[in-house]
Amino acid sequence: MRMRNLVATLGVGALALTAVACGKDEPAASGGGGGNASDSCGDLHKFTTASGVDVAGSPTFTKMKSAGKVTVGVKADQPNLGYKDAGGKRCGFDIEVARMMAAGLGFDPDKIEYKEIPSANRETAIAGGEVNYYVGTYSITDKRKKQVSFAGPYFIAGQDLLVRKDDTSMDAGKTALKGKKVCSATGSTPIQRVKDEQLTEASNISEFKTYSECVSQLLDKKTDAVTTDDAILKGYAATAPDQLRVVGKPFSTEKYGIGLPLADKALRDKMNSILETSASDGTWKAIYDETLGKSGSTSTPPPLEKY
């Protein structure tokens, strides 16, 4: 008797699996009933892969070379920056920078392996060699420079607030945060600033692994503001403009750098020179306009900080 039950259950399970196994190929361009923005990533920028590259004295490069691929740490949930669509394709400004670096180091786009690393684990992942380099809204700070090193900056952002569209109580910017519930990613610079400057009470701070989870809490009124760099927030606001908006009073300067293992000066120099070239030949502007620039803003390549 029992055995027959078991077989029946197995059969139903198998049926369910086959039922699932047929599906549509590509996510539709417009997201079903009422989605505003297309979820799918469009065409990516075409970089020319450099040939015969050698970065003398770079242990990381030697590792990439012998592996025949580059492993890049990225984020997956930030529209227009580091995003993975429903079809599994990745796009955004950070992704383009990561691809540009790979191309400049002589690796074709299909030789890139992306790894999603949460903010709190970035230093350990870079220092431990889980990724070769990291491109994911990673602010250059003195404290982090003790554990990893940075090429760049390749972009300058500022900490801002994302609020519900109808909520005007925080339009004054960071001074209006007292008594408000604030959410950000665990281990990120913005939440550390909120704590250090005591912009709101400790009990009002919530932290999640990703910003998406914070935005979800914001829409559910479990938090009043999501704080992080405006570049990230604009991506969300552009996705749901009838529900969300960015306050627009940035209260910090965040220099995004490419995270590298601490001792690898040779690779850092090489990446800085790739960035320099991209700034002068117009590549930087091209990939900006194709990604972050879509929400209407303009920007210029920031000056590099070589060390």
Partner 1 sequence: MFSVLTDNWDLFGQGFWTTIKLFLISGVLSLVLGTLLGTFRVSPVPALRGVGTGYVNILRNTPLTLVFAFLVFGAPKMNIELPSFFWSAVVALTIYTSAFICEVVRSGINTIPPGQTEAGRAIGMSFIQVLSVIVLPQAFRAIQPPLMSVLIALLKNTTIAAGFSVAEAGAIPAAMAERGENQMLTLVWITIGFLILIVPLIFLQRWAERRTAVA
Partner 2 sequence: MSALYDVPGPRAQLRNRVLNVVVILLVAGAVAWVVYRLNATGQFESRRWVQFQYTAIQRQLLDGLLNTLKAAGLAAVLAMIMGAVFAAARISDHKWVRVPATFVVELFRAIPLLILMFFFYYGSLQYHLGLTPFWAVVFGLTLYNGSVLAEIFRAGIAAVPKGQREASYAIGLRKNQVVRLVLLPQAISAMLPAIVSQLVVLLKDTALGFIITYAELLYVAKQMGGRLQYGFPYIPTYIVVAVIYIGLCSLLSLLARYLEGRSRRRRKITGAPPPSAAEAATSAEAPL
- The contact set with partner 1 (CB under 8 A) reads 120-121, 123-124, 143, 146-147, 183, 186-187, 192, 206-209, 213, 216-217, 220-222
Q: What is the DSSP letter of 143?
A: H
Q: Kindly state whether residue 240 participates in binding partner 2, applying the rule CB under 8 A.
A: yes
Q: Kindly state whether residue 49 participates in binding partner 2, applying the rule CB under 8 A.
A: no
Distance CA(235)–CA(292), nearest Å, equals 8
Do 61 and 67 meet the contact criterion of CB atoms below 8 Å apart?
Answer: no
What does 230 bind: partner 2, partner 1, none (CB cut-off 5 to 8 Å by kind)? none
Comparison of 39 and 276: residue with beta carbon closer to partner 2: 39
Comparison of 102 and 185: residue with beta carbon closer to partner 1: 185
Comparison of 49 and 121: residue with beta carbon closer to partner 1: 121
Q: Kindly state whether residue 31 participates in binding partner 2, applying the rule CB under 8 A.
A: yes
Distance CA(157)–CA(254), nearest Å, equals 5
Distance CA(251)–CA(76), nearest Å, equals 25
What does 187 bind: partner 2, partner 1, none (CB cut-off 5 to 8 Å by kind)? partner 1
CA 211 centroid distance within chain: 10
Dihedral sign (CA 261, 266, 270, 276):
positive
Do 252 and 159 meet the contact criterion of CB atoms below 8 Å apart?
Answer: yes
Closest distance between partner 1 and the C-beta of residue 163, in Å? 17
b or e along 31-53 (b: 16 or more beta carbons within 10 Å of the residue's beta carbon)? eeeeeeeebbbeebbebeeeeee
Comparison of 42 and 128: residue with beta carbon closer to partner 2: 128
Do 208 and 183 meet the contact criterion of CB atoms below 8 Å apart?
Answer: yes
Secondary structure element (H or E) that encloses residue 18, with its range: helix 2-20
Closest distance between partner 2 and the C-beta of residue 103, in Å? 25
What does 6 bind: partner 1, partner 2, none (CB cut-off 5 to 8 Å by kind)? partner 2
Closest distance between partner 2 and the C-beta of residue 134, in Å? 13
Phi, psi at residue 86, to the nearest 5°?
A: -65, -20
Residue of the chain from 32, 52, 68, 282 that contacts partner 2 (CB under 8 A)? 32
Report the interface residues with partner 2, using CB under 8 A: 2-3, 5-6, 9-10, 13, 20-21, 23-28, 31-35, 37-39, 76-77, 79, 84, 86-88, 115-118, 121, 124-125, 127-130, 209-210, 212-213, 215-216, 219, 236, 239-240
